[in-house]
Structure 1
Amino acid sequence: MSELVLVTGATGQQGGAVARRLLAEGRRVRALTRDPTRAGALAEAGAEVVRGDLADEASLAAAMTGATAVFSVHPGPLAPGQDEVRDGKLVVDTARAAGVRHVVYSSALAADIVQPGKWELEQYLAASGLPYTILRPSSFMENYLNPLFGLRDGALRTALAPHVRQQLIALDDIAALAVAGFDGRLDGRTLALAGDARTPGELAAAISAALGVTVPYEQLPIEELRKINARFARGYEYLNNNPEPTVDIAALRALHPGLMTFADWLDRAGAAQLNAIFGAAKQNVSPAQK
């Protein structure tokens, strides 16, 4: 029987991408979620869906029974009520007690500078004695499907300064590198992840070309973003003050040749999804706004 991978956050963006990648490769997946009703597609694809909570040691221990590897990812700024550090340490401790042979932890780019909780978890995992891989994703290309970061009112709106080259990674590439971690090819490594780096104007131009319409870039005031989410604002302040990319994209592409650029992502899936959002937005414009 093949090895079993427990995927936490299985109904989220990263957990879902990792679970789908594993299933597509014919691997056994146990998908942990607080709400199994949201994991119907994973169940249909062959995942064993279990209810559990990262803050609940008993449910974690049950979910890890028989698992050989764990993908550990924790809710981001949109779930401020959860204690990421406490929950993350509990995942590590439970995995060690369960005899798990590898943990892949998804942290964040520049975690040691802008996300102290994730940085603390990186150190905790590294000191645990467990074989591990730490992934530090940059901003997701898929974030542009969210009006908070993407198309809104016919424009691309983010808090990035116009001169900043934002580093971006596709969820499918995070999943591919997580699988490489499970296979033992990245033991003990901490990898910063990006497949492309583009200014907001370049991103808007690429989206415009893909959609066949003009999508201008409009900078969202940082204070407006801070009212929505203070952690998002801190991230964008870091990006705006450190405009030069830090990820060695060429080296990462040598490790994972399928690494997508933003144009690749648009061609494969992004353009169709963005077009659906853009079309829906145009349909919702009132006659007085036209």
Structure 2
Amino acid sequence: MKTVLITGANIGIGLATAKALVRRGVNLILLCRNKAKGEEALDVLQRINRAVTVELVLADLTDADSIRQATELIRRTHQTLDVLINNAGYSPDRIEFVDNVEKSFYANHIGHFILTYHLLDLLEASGEARIINLSSAAYALGNASRFFQRNNKLAVLSAYGDGKLANILFTKELANRYADAGITAFAVHPGVVNSGFGSNFTGGIGLLMNLARPFMRTPERGAETSVYLATAPLSVLTKRDGKAGGSGGFFADSKPKLVKHNDLTAKRATDLWNKSMEFV
């Protein structure tokens, strides 16, 4: 029976992903920040399928020490990990900083980088592991030259786009570095999902988000590609469709998609990895 770790598994796409996977007989580790909400999700998931194991581990993805403590606990209680779904997302309503890094970039990329790095040996031990990083079409708003730069005037959507661009670069670098270790990596655009994203936006952006909300996807629909990548035969996922697909690829609607951005280069991916290592 496979074991899957999902971050942000107590709400939205993360919870919908968890529900779909327990129905498929998968053991789960839920990595959540809020204990009460995590325990609620744990109860819901256990009632769906009593035959699987569901565990709750607490961690704050903007706190490196918290993440390290969580990985130490997981490493003490598990010898392998089959799938890591870096699902949790943070949408800023104002620009804040953690360790001199914009907070949403820290939560969406650096926190997941630290988590992933400390779990790589468990992933390697599974023999055929998958890392699934929740990105977004908002990567188009990102700019790699802003990564790790303190900018108090940065727009919130630009900050969010930077994190989503980093998710794709991280995916590509993982696929490149760990191809021989039996680890594949995939980035996901879940679609525009009514999961609470943007509910804290104000002004014109907030108004547009509220107007669009009735037309957004449900969390269940948004979770479909993550579930597909976690469960489909690896031979299907690693098959390239022209220039799209394969390990390191970007998927939407359970299909590989081309991504176009001037910063999606091998050098940018390596530079991001090296800079992120300073936080490990």
Q: TM-score, normalised by structure 1?
A: 0.54
Q: Percent identity?
A: 14
CA drift of 1:24 comes to 2.3
Q: Is the 8 A contact 2:14 2:88 kept in 1?
A: no
Which of 144, 147, 162 does residue 116 from structure 1 map onto? 162
Q: Is the 8 A contact 2:86 2:132 kept in 1?
A: yes
In structure 1, the residue corresponding to 2:137 is in which secondary structure? coil
Which of 177, 186, 189 does residue 225 from structure 2 map onto? 177
Q: CA separation of 1:145/1:113 partners in 2, compared to 1, >3 Å: closer, same or farther?
A: closer
CA drift of 1:171 comes to 1.6
CA drift of 1:159 comes to 5.7
Partner of 1:5: 4
How many residues are matched? 186
Which of 117, 122, 134 does residue 98 from structure 1 map onto? 122
Paired amino acid for 1:173: R
Partner of 2:58: 51
Which of 193, 204, 221 does residue 140 from structure 1 map onto? 193
Q: Is the 8 A contact 2:10 2:40 kept in 1?
A: no
Aligned pairs for 1:1-290 (under 5 A) are 2-44=1-43, 45-46=45-46, 47-54=54-61, 55=64, 56-63=67-74, 65=78, 66-78=80-92, 81=103, 83=106, 84-99=108-123, 101-114=129-142, 115-128=161-174, 129=178, 130-143=183-196, 157-158=207-208, 168-183=216-231, 184=234, 185-187=236-238, 188=247, 189-193=249-253
Deviations 1:155-175 (A, max 9, x none): x94269x9x9x9843321232
Paired with 1:158 and 1:19, the residues of 2 have a C-alpha distance of: 30
CA drift of 1:106 comes to 0.6
In structure 2, the residue corresponding to 1:127 is in which secondary structure? helix
In structure 1, the residue corresponding to 2:57 is in which secondary structure? strand
Q: CA separation of 1:58/1:113 partners in 2, compared to 1, >3 Å: closer, same or farther?
A: same
Paired with 2:40 and 2:72, the residues of 1 have a C-alpha distance of: 25
In structure 2, the residue corresponding to 1:140 is in which secondary structure? coil
Q: Is the 8 A contact 2:29 2:56 kept in 1?
A: yes
For structure 2, the 5+ residue unaligned runs are: 47-53, 97-102, 143-160, 239-246, 259-280
Report the aligned-residue RMSD.
3.5
Paired with 1:12 and 1:122, the residues of 2 have a C-alpha distance of: 23
Q: CA separation of 1:159/1:87 partners in 2, compared to 1, >3 Å: closer, same or farther?
A: closer
Q: Is the 8 A contact 2:7 2:30 kept in 1?
A: yes
After TM superposition, what 4+ stretches of structure 1 lie above 4 angstroms from structure 2? 142-149
CA drift of 1:38 comes to 1.0
CA drift of 1:141 comes to 3.6
For structure 1, the 5+ residue unaligned runs are: 150-155, 195-246, 249-290
Deviations 1:228-286 (A, max 9, x none): xxxxxxxxxxxxxxxxxxx89xxxxxxxxxxxxxxxxxxxxxxxxxxxxxxxxxxxxxx
CA drift of 1:18 comes to 1.0
Paired with 1:178 and 1:72, the residues of 2 have a C-alpha distance of: 10
Q: Which has the larger radius of gyration?
A: 1
Q: RCO higher in 1 or 2 (8 Å CA, sep ≥ 6)?
A: 2
Paired amino acid for 2:2: E
